[in-house]
Amino acid sequence: MHVDVQQIKDRVAERAESVHRLKSELHKVIVGQEEMVSRLMVAMLANGHVLLEGVPGLAKTLTIKSLSDAINAHFQRIQFTPDLLPADLVGTLVYNPASGEFTKRKGPVFANFILADEINRAPSKVQSALLEAMQERQVTIGDETFPLDRLFLVMATQNPIEQEGTYPLPEAQVDRFMLKVVLSYPKQDEERRVLDMALDGGGAQINSVITPEEIFAMQDTVKMIYIDDQVRDYILNVVRATREPKAFGINDVVPLIDFGASPRATIFLGMGARAIAFLQGRGYVTPQDVKDIALDVLRHRVLLTYEAEAERTSSDDVIKSILAKVPVP
């Protein structure tokens, strides 16, 4: 099948101005955190969802709220607590004594951008309700099913320093998130700018600079980005190396991996690499694009053995070792 890469590149260039406007608007109020902003945009362009892990105060809420404002979309922040019920999330039937009928009241999940704050503080039935909406992009209330908006992104957060009273997400549910991003503290100069902004009156007002329709156009363009067969094989080999490292001669990680990444990881790795290429203004995917997004796609899908935990080896360490040894086309 013939693919006109130049034509795809021209389509990417047409959308570059929208990307530039969106990034510029976000940087009015967000200092640093380039990776978080980039990964949110990757997930949005690839129609995925993001799990963020980081200590409080790293601008997680500000980032997704600003992204929503810049697109003039509907934002909802849901604070997950141990007493939260699925009905509090998706909605419920409300009885009307006057008419003797039940009416459907939609929950906060009916929004474009959702911040599921500290998702691991809610019981598993609530987590499952959200993850089902993420996967199926629809919600059932009573006997009626409601589709969610086409623009639908969930950013869930986990606090890594407080585990008491939490309900850890099962591995099968974590797999529904396209990306897991681990945040670190800002650099010294970035934190100084944050301090200056706070002491001198705060950041600027976020304005709506693009429309959801422009996002849909970008998503359609991302789907067109060319991935050569050799790069597709490379994506497949990286994921398979997490399951069968010995077959790729990566013997040092064999005793460290309990379960490798799922087939969903293969799909998300390709979709994420396409989004990375789009953000860099290219109409084709390179192996470096795959490497750039691999940690965020794989870190929550590669389960380690007790031996790895005893050696204090993280999934990031294992994935980096695999990326260093799988042959690059």
**Sequential pLDDT tens for the chain (329 residues):** 456 777 888 788 888 888 888 888 888 888 877 888 889 999 999 999 999 988 777 788 888 888 899 998 999 999 888 888 888 888 887 877 877 777 788 889 999 999 998 888 888 888 888 888 888 888 888 778 889 999 999 999 887 765 555 667 777 778 889 999 988 888 898 888 888 888 887 667 888 889 999 999 999 999 999 999 999 999 999 999 999 999 888 888 888 898 889 999 999 999 999 999 999 988 899 999 999 999 999 999 998 889 888 888 889 999 999 999 999 98
Domain extents in the chain: 31-209, 225-325
- Please give the CATH topology (third level) of the domain spanning 31-209: Rossmann fold (3.40.50)
Write out the two tokens for 2.
């013939």
CA distance 164 to 82: 12
| Separation of first and last alpha carbons in the chain | 20
Q: Which two tokens stand for residue 156?
A: 């869930």
Residue 181's φ and ψ, nearest 5 degrees, are -110, 125
Which residues on neighbouring strands pair with residue 116, listed in sequence order?
Answer: 78, 156
The matching CATH number, chosen from 1.10.1200.10, 2.70.170.10, 3.30.1360.40, 1.10.8.80, for 225-325 is: 1.10.8.80
Q: Are 18 and 29 in contact (CB under 8 A)?
A: no
CA 229-291-156 angle, to 5 degrees, is 115
